[in-house]
A and B are shown apart, each in its own frame.
Chain A
Amino acid sequence: MSRLLLNLRVIVALGRRSVRQTFRRPQLFAPILVFPTLLLAIQTGGAGSAVDLEGFPQVNGFLDFMLAGAMVQSCLLAGNSGGIALAVDLEMGFTDRLFAAPISRFAIVAGRLAGTAAFGAVTAVWFLAIGLIFGATIEGGVPGTILMIALVALSATAFGGIGAAVALYTGRASVVQGLFPLVFVVLFLSDAFFPANLMLEPAATIAEYNPLSLIVDGLRELVIGGVDAAAVAEAIGAIALIGAISIGLSALALRRRLRLGA
């Protein structure tokens, strides 16, 4: 078997383990789907009249506006959970089993990210289903839906890189878990839950430059407007930027860990 094929098989196997592990460990699963779903329900039920504000985007309903934010929140939390799971693997020595195998060591991180990506796709389908059940309209149609699932999976991978980098650098699940509140800070300083143009300063400016806003806008446009190549391209650009930095940091943290033999 060629090295490439072996490493691809390993990535798929580790990705499958990662998804299974998330479903089997409620403390990893709950933040990814349950919390964003609850937040979506609370916000949609309690702040639905925000759509009447002047300057609010044209939407069929507040749920249509909120879906993209819920998906990105879910992705960020999936990335964090993936990081926690990797740190737990490091803490209990499971990664030594992988490091002692004749595979590319980055395949170990890639496998974890593949699992996070798969979970991202699951969350996209989950929130699309919720949206359709409760009356949202996906203006992008089938192509828009497929694009959304792909963008959410890619976002999860990029955010997963952040969790993986922190896990590999510190080797401690408690530290990765400490990122949890930051997820909400970053989210609320984007237009995930509220249009940036209606925010007060300095939040409005921060949200405008927050790459998360570009991802949310790209996804939201597929729900409320249709397939807009420019918005999708900007979302892909933001995902690529975050992914390049986070996965690059993961690779550096992995190399450092292997060098130190920690």
Chain B
Amino acid sequence: MPAIEVTGLEREFEGEIRAVDGVDLEVADGEIYAFLGPNGAGKTTTVRMLTTLLRPTGGTARVAGHDVVDEAAEVRRSIGVALQEAALDPLMTGRELIALQATLHGLIGGEAERRGAELLRRVGLAQAADRRVGTYSGGMRRRLDLASALVHEPQVLFLDEPTTGLDPVSRKAIWEEVAALNREGTTVFLTTQYLEEADQLADRVGIIAKGRIVAEGTPAVLKAEVGRPHLEIGLGDGSAAQAERICEAFGRKLPEKDGKLLVEVDGGASEVAKVVRALDEAGITVASLDLVEPTLDDVFVAKTGEHLEGAEEEAAPEAEPVRAGDA
């Protein structure tokens, strides 16, 4: 039985705004599924429907085997939810919040205390447990939110943009925790607008735009659909025509870009050294050499004709060029 099963899900708001427009998806038990899309794509609306916070206006959805409309209480018992921007009361302490969450899920007395202490330790907040949440950093808040969503050991965990606005270190800490939870058997449904997050964490990715899923699959398959890795070679001294001939031995030549020679390489990084060596033996100097792999943004562009918001800034630190000298 799939952990999440969605068919033709729709949500229309007043003024005939259709935020979610016929979403179909299936998430297997034990899977991490990432819903990737820009702001306003319908990610949060979908999560709100799957977590019973919003009634669909069309279609059906089952979570942990229960219908989100007809069996909403059963769904709520089976899920953990950490919503966007960690909605925490700044006046409560971390321990108080976890205790309240335990009460909401029917845990009492020693069992609730033990579980609360265990979770606070797990997310590294044991020392800060008696401080008010208002004094926590963004990363600490997200970790507390995550801990509170786990208090009743849910089957399915929904994380709505769990790392938005966090620094890279805090983001990585959340990813590690999510991956660990998944290894323990929790199914995770997360929404994100970060390509790297979807790429690193998810078993499968659903790309959503304007309320519809435009692509779905494993990150590798999705990227392979839009192209192969290619080298961008900036030439120094030597014949460009000869360089092209040499490179064509390694893969299909692509149209030139900014004066650089572009060539597809099936083997990715493993081909770089061979290409540089061949050019060097022919007396051709390589001024620069970048290995460019397709990203989920390329998938998004291929499917929608638009870039994901912030994709370029996010990609910038990753796209460190592989210099010929390094190869």
Is B81's CB under 8 angstroms from A261's CB?
A: no
Give every chain B residue within 8 A of A41 (Cβ-Cβ). none
Please name 12 further chain A to chain B contacts, defined as beta carbons within 8 Å, in addition to the given A92-B89, A100-B79, sorted by A numbering: A17-B92, A17-B100, A20-B92, A21-B91, A93-B85, A93-B87, A96-B81, A100-B81, A101-B101, A103-B104, A261-B53, A261-B55
Is B88's CB under 8 angstroms from A94's CB?
A: yes
Give every chain B residue within 8 A of A261 (Cβ-Cβ). 48, 53-55
CA–CA, A14 and B89, complex, Å: 12
Q: List 10 A-B contacts (CB under 8 A).
A: A9-B108, A21-B89, A89-B89, A97-B83, A99-B53, A101-B105, A102-B74, A102-B76, A102-B105, A261-B55
Is B87's CB under 8 angstroms from A25's CB?
A: no
**Interface status of B164 (Cβ within 8 A of chain A):** no
**Interface status of B51 (Cβ within 8 A of chain A):** yes
Is A97's CB under 8 angstroms from B81's CB?
A: yes
1/0 contact trace for A9-48 toward B, CB 8 Å? Answer: 1100110010011001100000000000000000000000
Looking at B53, B74, B103, the one whose CB has the most chain A CB atoms below 10 A away is B103
Looking at A21, A96, A259, the one whose CB has the most chain B CB atoms below 10 A away is A96
Partner of A1, one of B83, B88, B106: B106
Looking at A24, A101, A260, A261, the one whose CB has the most chain B CB atoms below 10 A away is A101
Number of interface residues of A (CB under 8 A): 26
Interface residues of A (CB under 8 A from B): 1, 6, 9-10, 13-14, 17, 20-21, 24-25, 89, 92-94, 96-103, 259-261
Interface residues of B (CB under 8 A from A): 14, 48, 51-55, 73-74, 76-77, 79, 81, 83-85, 87-89, 91-92, 96, 99-101, 103-106, 108, 132, 148
Is A10's CB under 8 angstroms from B104's CB?
A: yes
Is A100's CB under 8 angstroms from B87's CB?
A: no
Partner of A102, one of B53, B77, B132: B77
Closest to A98 in B: B104
Give every chain A residue within 8 A of B48 (Cβ-Cβ). 261
Give every chain B residue within 8 A of A25 (Cβ-Cβ). 91
Is B76's CB under 8 angstroms from A17's CB?
A: no
Closest to B14 in A: A260
Give every chain B residue within 8 A of A100 (Cβ-Cβ). 51-53, 76, 79, 81, 83
Q: From residue A64, how far is it (CB to closest CB) to chain B in Å?
A: 37
CA–CA, A253 and B40, complex, Å: 27
Closest to B72 in A: A102
Is A17's CB under 8 angstroms from B101's CB?
A: no
Is B87's CB under 8 angstroms from A102's CB?
A: no
Partner of A93, one of B74, B83, B132: B83
Give every chain B residue within 8 A of A99 (Cβ-Cβ). 52-53
CA–CA, A17 and B133, complex, Å: 14
Given contacts A103-B104, A261-B53, contact A97 B148 (CB under 8 A): yes
Is A20's CB under 8 angstroms from B91's CB?
A: yes
Closest to A92 in B: B87
Give every chain A residue within 8 A of B84 (Cβ-Cβ). 93
Is A101's CB under 8 angstroms from B55's CB?
A: no
Give every chain A residue within 8 A of B101 (Cβ-Cβ). 97, 101
CA–CA, A260 and B84, complex, Å: 19
CA–CA, A24 and B55, complex, Å: 35
CA–CA, A20 and B77, complex, Å: 27
Closest to A101 in B: B104
Closest to B89 in A: A94
Give every chain B residue within 8 A of A10 (Cβ-Cβ). 103-104
CA–CA, A135 and B214, complex, Å: 77
Q: From residue A86, how far is it (CB to closest CB) to chain B in Å?
A: 12
Closest to B104 in A: A101
Give every chain A residue within 8 A of B79 (Cβ-Cβ). 100
Closest to A103 in B: B104
CA–CA, A10 and B112, complex, Å: 14
Give every chain B residue within 8 A of A6 (Cβ-Cβ). 106
Q: From residue A169, how far is it (CB to closest CB) to chain B in Å?
A: 16
CA–CA, A20 and B132, complex, Å: 12
Give every chain B residue within 8 A of A17 (Cβ-Cβ). 89, 92, 96, 100
Is B103's CB under 8 angstroms from A96's CB?
A: no
Closest to A262 in B: B54
Give every chain B residue within 8 A of A103 (Cβ-Cβ). 104
Is A96's CB under 8 angstroms from B76's CB?
A: no
CA–CA, A14 and B99, complex, Å: 11
Closest to B49 in A: A261
Give every chain B residue within 8 A of A9 (Cβ-Cβ). 103, 106, 108
Give every chain A residue within 8 A of B104 (Cβ-Cβ). 10, 13, 97-98, 101-103
Q: From residue B253, how far is it (CB to closest CB) to chain A in Å?
A: 53
Q: From residue A93, how far is it (CB to closest CB) to chain B in Å?
A: 3
CA–CA, A48 and B148, complex, Å: 55
Give every chain B residue within 8 A of A93 (Cβ-Cβ). 83-85, 87
CA–CA, A93 and B132, complex, Å: 18
Give every chain B residue within 8 A of A24 (Cβ-Cβ). 91, 132
Give every chain A residue within 8 A of B89 (Cβ-Cβ). 17, 21, 89, 92, 94
